[in-house]
Amino acid sequence: MAQSPRLNLEARLKRERKRRNWTQEYVAEQIGASVLSLNRWENGKATPHAEMLQALINLFGKPVEAWGASRARIWTVPYLRNLYFTGQERILARLHTVLTEQNVIAISQARAISGLGGIGKTQTALEYAYRYADEYDLVLWVRADSRQALLAQFAGLATLFGLPNHADADQHRLAQAVKRHLETQEEGVWLLIFDNVDDIALVQEFLPTRGNGAVILTTRLHAVGKHLRKIELDTLSLEESRQFLLERVRAARPQAPEDPAGKEDQAVEQLCTLLDGLPLALDQAAAYMEEHQATVTDYVARYLQQRTALLRLQNSVDRHDYPASVATTWLLSFQQVARANSAAADLLYLLAFLHPDTIPEALLQEGAAALGPHLQTVVEEPARLQEALSLVQQYSLIRRNAETGMLSIHRLVQAVIQDGLEVAQVRQWGERAVRLVNHAFPEGEFTDWDRCEQLLPHALVCVEHLTRWQFVSEEAGHLLHRAGEYLFWRARYAEALALTKQAVELRQQALGATHPDVAESMNNLGIMHSDQGHYAEALPLHQQALSIWEQALGPEDPSVSLGLNNLADIYRLQGRYTEALPLYQQALAMEERTHGPTHSQVANVLNNLALLYQAQGDYEQARQCSERALSIWEQASQPNHPHLATCLNNLGGLYRVQGQYAEARQCFERALSIDEQLYRPDHPEVAHSLYNLADLFQAQGDYEQAQALFERALTMLEQGLGPTHPRVAARLNSLAQLPKFGPKRVRVDKSW
């Protein structure tokens, strides 16, 4: 967490007085000084002598070092202060006035800083945050250029706030919880900044409607809707541009020779006119000159020589938002990178096809083999990789956080790079990005979920490339398959279903309709359908997957036992018990032969077989299978595996129907504890464990506790699955039948 900026003595004194809402007259009276003296101290025209300074220390109750120090407990601003920020003083003063005139805000009082791309919206918001940091207890910065970025960062505030559900994996639920926290907290004043908003409707969903704070949005959009008031930025004046550029150039070249003829000053004015006061263009030009120790005259000459050709290269999507002068500046820098280090240029190509934020440096090294022979040799040698990264960073084309090992690249830089490539090059680098992310994306074990979450934004960007360019490859199909599987575990069902369907189709094109990998994706797609209660859609998928595995791999392959188990699940759920039983038995025998009697795959089949016996009323057989499955999982090296929670829930259900309530409660509570560690608090699996406990309390006649848990589980399921989902209907039925027993639904173990 960054520390807030420090203040000089006069600023400290003034801020400390204003923090207490004391007037100069009051402070002067308390310490026995004149108002004129206090005014001179606060304006830096004089310094209080020792006696007066001690009187001020006594009055404020703390030493000078603590005066005016930011009271911010949370500071998430990701950028250092811009030492060369120039202009926009009127805008900053206006913002401060309107955002502090009332303690309680409404959406209509939030301010959107709007304007042309590169005009300095973000820098203005950043300057405001640093300049007035001491007036806020929380200064929160959220990137909002996409729904993914907004949800990830806004939801991430839950951990900083210490919210009860901060471990929730559903970012949308977390974001809503953060919003409610800001609206309802009574202590502290907050500043919330949504940066780079490209969709006003999207961010409005997360705008606090009340609360003790202020909201700033930065957006390139001209229309911000009726609920927001817009402050539109203009370009810098000629004098402001000159001031900014001269400060940057002089700081970079403090020993520059004298310019008696005034040629450099003339070049500065010419360049400022050419760039039309656009802060980003000025900053890029200054960065170029700083890196190459070039004079402004040199830069202007190069700019004029290349301007005509380079101005033709415009972003084909948002031409009006991405001025040609900005693109020209970036392309000039990129050409210098390419001449100095071709591997650095290749690195830029690659970064242009990943998600722009939080690109792990480790990702490049892990998937080096996917990057082509030229870049691969560089990435595999740490020193050469650091050299290439440093070169790109010097031109301000990427951001690099050495502490976190993360890279980021502005989306406009990505657009300019992509638009400058030939179609064949775009396909080549898009395919390399897909192979890179596929190589690093884990297989989906619950121990890898954090890594999956980190790489998911890059995987989804790769999906966009696949859709746009119709890439067909084994790696693309594998990436879609794994990303869909992870999304399913995180209860993002619609996205999971869409990606897995796409995985089936792509794998069929790349590998042929009878390839085992096609069956793998069909199997997952069948599980997703059955989990939603769509058994008719799931059945043919499992039948086809099993047939492919048997023909391609032989009847004794482990995949065949998996297919038998999952096909039996569908038959059981449809009530076709006589068809399910031999399939389960066959799968169990195969797993025991292949893996031995204590393997986790054996436990999975035993768990499902127990459900079948229980459905048929054969409780003794069900108990034997369930207890054996539980014993296997308890001896495993992963005590909090999601399948252990499944086993506990199902064994608890068996104990409940047999009247062994103490044993049932122990199982359900253990399952709930595991689920709460693995999933967000309103995840359907957590709701399922709550429902089982409620069912138990109902069986024991404790209808009050049962109702409370039923209602809690129902609310969670409605939020996570939607009000029309079959599970929601079942829970509604159970709640409606209190204080009597309602129909019971036991969760099915899903074997991947």
The per-residue DSSP string of 436-501 comes to HHHHHS----GGGHHHHHHHHHHHHHHHHHHHHHT---HHHHHHHHHHHHHHHHTT-HHHHHHHHH
pLDDT at 746 over 80: no
Q: Does pTM surpass 0.85?
A: no
Who has greater pLDDT, 257 or 506?
506
Query: Residue 70, Cβ neighbours under 10 Å: how many?
Result: 20
Query: Residue 73, Cβ neighbours under 10 Å: how many?
Result: 13
Who has greater pLDDT, 137 or 580?
580
Going by pLDDT thresholds of 50, 70 and 90, the confidence category of residue 544 is: very high
pLDDT at 749 over 70: no
Query: What is the rounded average pLDDT of the residues 107-119?
Result: 70
Give the pair of three-digit tokens for residue 728.
């929601």
> Is the distance from CB of 471 to CB of 429 less than 8 angstroms?
no
> Is the distance from CB of 679 to CB of 673 less than 8 angstroms?
no
Read off the pLDDT of residues 187-220 as tens digits, 9 standing for 90 and up: 678 899 999 887 888 888 888 888 888 899 998 7
In order of start, what are the domains of the chain with their CATH numbers? 9-66 (1.10.260.40), 74-232 (3.40.50.300), 340-421 (1.10.10), 441-538 (1.25.40.10), 638-752 (1.25.40.10)
Query: What is the rounded average pLDDT of the residues 714-720?
Result: 74
Would strands 213-219 and 190-197 be described as parallel, antiparallel, or unpaired?
parallel
Query: What is the rounded average pLDDT of the residues 88-98?
Result: 86
pLDDT of res. 751: 40
pLDDT at 593 over 90: yes
Who has greater pLDDT, 470 or 331?
470
Distant-in-sequence, close-in-space partners of 467: CB < 8 Å, separation ≥ 6: none
Read off the pLDDT of residues 342-367 as tens digits, 9 standing for 90 and up: 999 999 999 999 998 889 999 998 88
Going by pLDDT thresholds of 50, 70 and 90, the confidence category of residue 328 is: low
Q: Assign 310 to helix, strand or coil.
A: helix
pLDDT of res. 575: 94
Who has greater pLDDT, 61 or 214?
214
Query: Residue 635, Cβ neighbours under 10 Å: how many?
Result: 11
Read off the pLDDT of residues 416-442 as tens digits, 9 standing for 90 and up: 788 778 889 999 999 999 999 999 999
DSSP H or E stretch at residue 143: strand 138-143
Q: What length does the chain have?
A: 752
pLDDT at 400 over 90: no
Distant-in-sequence, close-in-space partners of 135: CB < 8 Å, separation ≥ 6: 15, 19, 100, 189
pLDDT at 325 over 50: no
Going by pLDDT thresholds of 50, 70 and 90, the confidence category of residue 326 is: low
pLDDT at 745 over 50: no
Who has greater pLDDT, 184 or 479?
479
pLDDT at 315 over 60: no
Provide the angle, in degrees to the nearest 10, between the axes of the packed helices 600-615 and 577-595.
160
Going by pLDDT thresholds of 50, 70 and 90, the confidence category of residue 320 is: very low
pLDDT of res. 528: 94
Give the pair of three-digit tokens for residue 484.
């869909």
Query: What is the rounded average pLDDT of the residues 712-727?
Result: 69
pLDDT at 543 over 80: yes
pLDDT at 72 over 70: no
Query: What is the rounded average pLDDT of the residues 461-478?
Result: 91
pLDDT of res. 572: 94
Q: Counting beta carbons within 10 angstroms of the beta carbon of residue 45, is it exposed (0 to 12), middle (13 to 18) or buried (19 or more)? A: exposed
Going by pLDDT thresholds of 50, 70 and 90, the confidence category of residue 262 is: low
pLDDT at 533 over 60: yes
Read off the pLDDT of residues 608-664 as tens digits, 9 standing for 90 and up: 999 999 999 999 999 999 999 999 988 876 778 888 889 999 999 999 999 999 999
Going by pLDDT thresholds of 50, 70 and 90, the confidence category of residue 108 is: very low
Indicate the average pLDDT of the chain. Answer: 82
pLDDT at 103 over 50: no
Query: What is the rounded average pLDDT of the residues 221-243?
Result: 80
Cα torsion angle, 507, 562, 609, 644, sign: negative
Highest mean pLDDT among 305-314, 323-332, 632-641, 672-681: 672-681
pLDDT at 729 over 60: no
| CA end-to-end distance (rounded Å), the chain | 40
pLDDT at 739 over 60: no
pLDDT at 467 over 80: yes
pLDDT at 117 over 90: no
145, 257, 552 from 281: Cα distances, Å: 21, 25, 59
pLDDT at 323 over 80: no
